[in-house]
């Protein structure tokens, strides 16, 4: 009498919620908009998971952190000082 044993192994990947902000949780590399800024949950240089500002939003334009973009006659610059990010708008005269 022969016995056959079938072992079924199911491998699943689970995206753990790794950043908590208030009562919300966010998964790895997830981005979301909060208060005029784009936040991202990542494992930054310190080795721990953290939500950080990665871009500014102004007039429906997304400007990555530490860059400038020109739309029409307005140049938007997104900078960060400490834990705060700022959007600066410069207007150019008519071309």
Q: Is residue 82 part of a domain?
A: yes
Q: What is the pLDDT of residues 59-72, one digit of tens each?
A: 889 999 999 999 98
Q: Is residue 79 part of a domain?
A: yes
Q: Is residue 74 part of a domain?
A: yes
68 close to 53: Cβ distance less than 8 angstroms: no
The total number of structural domains in the chain stands at 1
Is the pTM above the cut of 0.85? no
Which of 19-23, 69-73, 84-88 comes out lowest in average pLDDT? Answer: 19-23
Q: Is residue 11 part of a domain?
A: no
Q: Is residue 2 part of a domain?
A: no
pLDDT at 95: 57
Q: Is residue 86 part of a domain?
A: yes
Q: Is residue 3 part of a domain?
A: no
Range of the domain at 40: 17-91
pLDDT at 76: 92
Residue found under tokens 């936040």: 39
Q: CA angle at residue 44 from 31 to 46, to 5 degrees?
A: 150
């Amino acid at each position: 009498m022969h016995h056959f044993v079938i072992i079924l192994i199911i491998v699943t990947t689970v995206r753990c919620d790794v950043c908590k902000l208030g009562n919300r949780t966010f998964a790895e590399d997830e981005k979301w908009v909060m208060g005029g800024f784009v936040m991202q949950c990542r494992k930054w240089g310190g080795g721990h998971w953290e939500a950080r500002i990665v871009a500014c939003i102004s007039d429906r334009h997304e400007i990555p952190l530490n860059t400038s973009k020109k739309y029409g006659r307005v140049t938007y610059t997104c900078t960060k000082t400490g834990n705060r990010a700022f959007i600066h708008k410069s207007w150019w005269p008519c071309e």
